[in-house]
Amino acid sequence: MNGNASTERGAGPGPVTGEGQLWALLQDLVEREGRDAAAERLGLSERTIRRTLTDRHLSRRMTEALLRERDRRHAAGPPRSPPEERREQREQREQREQPRQPEQSRRAEVGAAGQLMRQLDQRFGRLEQTIGERLDELGGELDTWRQGATEQTERLQAEVEGLRESVAALDRSAASTGGPSAGHARSGYFPPRTFPELVTREPAADDGRVYGAVLALIEEWRGTWKERQRVKYTLDWLRIERRRLELEHRLIGEFELTLPPANRPWSSSERQQELVWCENAYRRVWWQLVWTRLLHGGLRLLTLGAWGWPGPADPHAERGGGESRTSSKNSP
């Protein structure tokens, strides 16, 4: 037997070939294409390839398949570089994997795509027409609204000018007669006070809005100030002064108001001091009233009415701007 020929074990004589070359060809196929592709190329099963590599033995079928592959390579010309072979094999695999579409199917797809494009063109045309018509309608509505708004604005401006002229005429009339301005007295609007807690000595037009239910007490308190300046006798002055102190005690303690001559609201401590002063002044006036009554009554009784003149009252016993409320009042 020739030394260059190999026979399958127990399979009889086989074709003459170099076993080393066939093994190299098989390993090259497996490395480049994988077992499945190599088995398909050789016309064998993947199981046969795996058993051959495991047993390290070339059967007759494997030898014949490798010889055919070697002959195909020799017939195809000189061997190419591995990158070229791999690129060609990749292209072949892609061609085998890519499904082939019949010409009729491709024509049907092209026709469907063309019909779809025509439908889209028609829809876009109708949409463009609808949008244009709607924009024309909105433009007409906007013009109508602008015209109406302009007319309404002109009408309102004319009414405002008329109201301004009326108010100016009322102001001129009030100024000529010495009355309150029309912008406040007639419209009922008065600017807000900086300190609504302050009680004014003189009445104002907005007292009702500022003081509310306390206005009745404030008006009575103002009246006592005026009456104590007009009285002629001590007893009358003491009675009025007692009532005035009672009203001040309520306004300061119950309603937390600030009395003149203060120009800002009192703090808590200041209000407490004012209450103490008011209570002390009230006690003094009360005792003065008691003793004055007793004195006058006794004099009239002893002199059978010839004596007992009450004496002059001090109508100016008021708090001055710099006088502290903690000091005693001037009394007759």
Q: How many CB atoms lie within 10 A of CB 325?
A: 20
96-145: per-residue pLDDT in tens? 655 555 666 777 888 888 888 888 888 888 888 889 888 888 888 888 88
What digits encode the pLDDT tens for the residues 177-221? 444 444 444 445 566 788 889 999 899 888 888 898 899 999 999
Contacts of 319 (CB under 8 A, 6+ apart): 260, 261, 325, 329
Sequence-separated (6 or more) residues with CB below 8 Å from residue 313: 228, 231, 232, 233, 234, 236, 237, 332
Taking the CA of residue 282 as centre, how many other CA atoms within 13 Å lie in the half-sphere pointing to its CB? Answer: 15
Output b/e per residue, 147-186; b: 16+ Cβ within 10 A: eeeeeeeeeeeeeeeeeeeeeeebbeebeeeeeeebeeee
pTM score of the predicted model: 0.39
Q: How many CA atoms lie within 13 A of 152 on its CB side?
A: 6
Scan for tokens 């009784």, then name that residue: 301
Closest to 74 in 3D by CA, of 34, 30, 21, 23: 21
- In angstroms, rounded to a whole number, what is the distance separating the alpha carbons of residues 35 and 42? 10
The number of residues making up the chain comes to 332
Burial of 278 (0-12, 13-18, 19+ CB in 10 A): buried
What's the first-to-final CA gap in the chain, in angstroms?
167
Map residue 258 onto helix, strand or coil: strand
Distance CA 27, CA 118 (A): 58
What are the sequence ranges of the domains in the chain? Answer: 19-92, 118-189, 195-332
> Tokens standing for 317?
């016993």
The three-point CA angle 235-324-240 to 5° equals: 20
Q: What are residue 198's DSSP bridge partners? A: 258
pLDDT of residue 173: 60
pLDDT at 98: 58
For residue 121, give the 3-state DSSP assignment: helix
> What residues pair up with 312 in beta bridges, in sequence order?
233
Distances (CA, A) of 295 to 201, 245, 289, 310: 34, 23, 10, 9
Give me 2's structure tokens.
Answer: 């020739």
- DSSP state letter for 264: S
Task: Summarize pLDDT for 46-103 with one digit per residue, the tens.
Answer: 888 888 888 888 888 888 888 888 888 887 665 555 666 667 767 766 666 555 556 6
Q: Which residues pair with 258 in a beta bridge?
A: 198
What is the pLDDT, as a whole number, of residue 251? 94
Residues 11-29 pLDDT 10s: 333 344 478 888 888 888 8
Q: Are 17 and 67 in contact (CB under 8 A)?
A: yes
The pLDDT tens digits for 231-262 are 887 888 999 999 999 999 999 999 999 999 89
